[in-house]
């Protein structure tokens, strides 16, 4: 029985082109105590692989975090399967604002210690004792109040290309980095301020709101469904859009436009730009912002050194990469001394 992906990204992309059918990019999460994560993981893989579902899914004893792509014609079949699982029945599905049939090219379902790495070793608080969920209209109202502190729970490379007006945007690399920094920033406002948080789809705020309530904050709120759900509600209800720029997403699209504002700049020349690229040098693969002009000039690379390596024959590049690991560099998204115009 097949319990893992067997096709390469290139092979899957060719099959998608050949099928010529629309796919939907979807994300969802749910906190729930899962007793046997391996059995649950294998069950999902068998069912979803048969439905041609692709994506990145994390399972832990505390729940599930899923970002995936499903053939549009099989959406109802997929939804019916979710509803057949008690704790996933009627789970909120965040459907992407901008669709791309190749947002995911493999089905990866992994077992993790936590569905969101938070760096917390505190098991004394209930992750389901969350803050108050706000719909888009309620969110728009509360963030205009003087007694509100609005916090972006995402990382620096996410908020750099898009964030809500007047939001605090911590300069952090990971979610685990943000919790102690934000705790210090809002210290002393346990009772006299509304602590309002938002993130991409809601999962980071779900954990953070429970954590801050545990820390003694009385008025804790979170944007229901995150930026993805907010954008859909703004459009369907003709509300004022208070989000500036793009929403960073963790798939091949890299982002989806929420407003026409461009609030960031090319990291190489400084011109207004909000398009993320990965350095074409496979030994680097740094995520950074690059305009079309620099992309052409630099051959999609972050530096002259990477450009020189990338233009070497592939066999030579592979030989140079042997025995070397670049994972630390890859995950330092948008941070490099070669990026002259990184804010």
Q: Is 199 a catalytic residue?
A: yes
Asked if residue 249 belongs to a domain, the reply is no
Q: Which range marks the domain in which residue 173 is found? A: 132-232
> Of 199, 205, 279, 306, which residue is the catalytic one?
199
State residue 171's pLDDT score: 93
- pLDDT the model gives residue 165: 92
Report yes or no on 105 lying in a domain: yes
Residues 227 and 282 placed together within one structural domain of the fold:
no
Quote the pLDDT of residue 4.
76
Q: Looking at the structure, do residues 223 and 273 belong to the same domain, yes or no?
A: no
In the prediction, which pLDDT does 325 show? 65
Query: What is residue 331's predicted lDDT score, i.e. its pLDDT?
Result: 47
Domain count, the chain: 3
Whether residue 273 is found in the same domain as residue 184: no
Same domain, 287 and 199: no
Kindly state whether residues 329 and 272 are assigned to the same domain. Answer: yes
In this structure, what CATH number is given to the domain that contains residue 188? Answer: 3.40.250.10
Residues 178 and 101 in one domain: no
- 150 with 58, same domain? no
Burial of 337 (0-12, 13-18, 19+ CB in 10 A): exposed
- Residues with Cβ within 8 Å of 140's Cβ and at least 6 positions away in sequence, in order, are 239, 240, 242
Q: Kindly report the CATH number assigned to the domain that includes residue 17.
A: 3.30.70.100
Q: Are residues 102 and 155 in the same domain?
A: no
Its pTM stands at 0.85
Predicted confidence at residue 326, as pLDDT, reads: 58
3-class SS string, the chain:
CCCCCCCCHHHHHHHHHHHCCCEEEEEEEEECCCCCHHHHHHHHHHHHHHCCCEEEEEEECCEEEEEEEEEHHHHHHHHHHHHCCHHHCCCCCEECCCCCCCCCCCEEEEECCCCCCCCCCCCCCCCCCCCEEECHHHHHHHCCCCCEEEEECCCHHHHCCEEECCCECCCCCCHHHHHHHHHHHHCCCCCCCEEEEECCCCHHHHHHHHHHHHCCCCCEEEECCHHHHHHHHHHHHCCCCCEEEEEECCCCCCEEECCCCCCCECCCCCCECCCEEECCCCCCCCEEECCHHHHHHCCCCCCHHHHHHHCCCHHHHHHHHCCCCCHHHHCCCCCCCCCCCCC
pLDDT value for 144: 96
- Does one domain contain both 151 and 195? yes
**Residue at 243 is within a domain:** no
Average pLDDT for consecutive 10-residue bins of the chain (343 residues)?
A: 79 91 95 94 96 96 94 97 97 91 94 86 76 97 97 96 96 90 92 96 92 93 96 96 96 94 97 96 92 97 95 89 63 80 85
Same domain, 68 and 159: no
Residue 1 lies in a domain: no
pLDDT of residue 128: 80
Verify that 87 and 166 share a domain, yes or no: no
The answer to the question of residue 3 being in a domain is: no
pLDDT at 189: 94
CB 105 within 8 A of CB 9: yes
CA distances from 331 to 1, 119, 288, 342 (A): 34, 16, 11, 16
Q: Is residue 59 part of a domain?
A: yes
Q: Taking Cα atoms as reference points, which of 149, 139, 144, 135 lies closest to residue 212?
A: 149
For residue 127, is it within any domain? no
Both 50 and 97 in one domain: the answer is yes
250, part of any domain: no
């Amino acid at each position: 029985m097949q319990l893992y992906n067997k096709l390469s990204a290139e092979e899957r992309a060719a099959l998608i082109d050949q099928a010529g059918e629309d796919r939907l990019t979807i994300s969802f999460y749910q906190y729930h105590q899962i007793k046997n994560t391996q059995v649950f993981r294998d069950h999902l893989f068998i069912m979803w692989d048969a439905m041609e579902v692709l994506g990145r899914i994390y399972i832990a004893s505390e729940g599930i975090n899923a970002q995936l792509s499903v053939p549009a014609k099989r959406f109802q079949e997929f939804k019916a399967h979710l509803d057949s699982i008690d704790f996933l029945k009627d789970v909120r599905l965040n459907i992407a604002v901008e669709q791309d049939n190749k947002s995911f090219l493999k089905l990866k379902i992994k077992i993790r210690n936590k569905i969101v790495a938070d760096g917390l070793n505190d098991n004394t608080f209930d992750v389901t004792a969350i803050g108050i969920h706000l719909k888009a209209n309620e969110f728009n109202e509360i963030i205009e109040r003087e007694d509100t502190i609005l916090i972006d729970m995402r990382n620096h490379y996410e908020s750099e290309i898009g964030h809500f007006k007047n939001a605090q945007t911590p300069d952090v690399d990971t979610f685990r980095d943000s919790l102690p920094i934000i705790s210090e920033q809002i210290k002393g406002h346990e009772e006299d301020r509304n602590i309002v948080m938002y993130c991409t789809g809601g999962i980071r705020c779900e954990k953070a709101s429970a954590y801050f309530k545990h820390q003694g904050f009385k008025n804790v709120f979170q944007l229901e469904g995150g930026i993805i759900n907010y954008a859909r509600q703004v459009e369907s209800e003709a509300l004022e859009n208070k989000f500036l720029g793009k929403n960073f997403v963790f798939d091949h699209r890299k982002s989806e436009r929420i407003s026409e504002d461009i609030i960031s700049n090319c990291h190489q020349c400084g011109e207004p730009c909000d398009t993320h690229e990965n350095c074409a040098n496979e030994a680097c693969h740094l995520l950074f912002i690059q305009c079309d002009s620099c992309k052409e000039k630099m051959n999609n690379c972050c530096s002259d050194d990477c450009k020189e390596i990338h233009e070497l024959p592939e066999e030579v590049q592979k030989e140079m990469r042997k025995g070397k690991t670049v994972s630390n560099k890859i995950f330092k998204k948008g941070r490099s001394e070669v990026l002259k115009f990184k804010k």
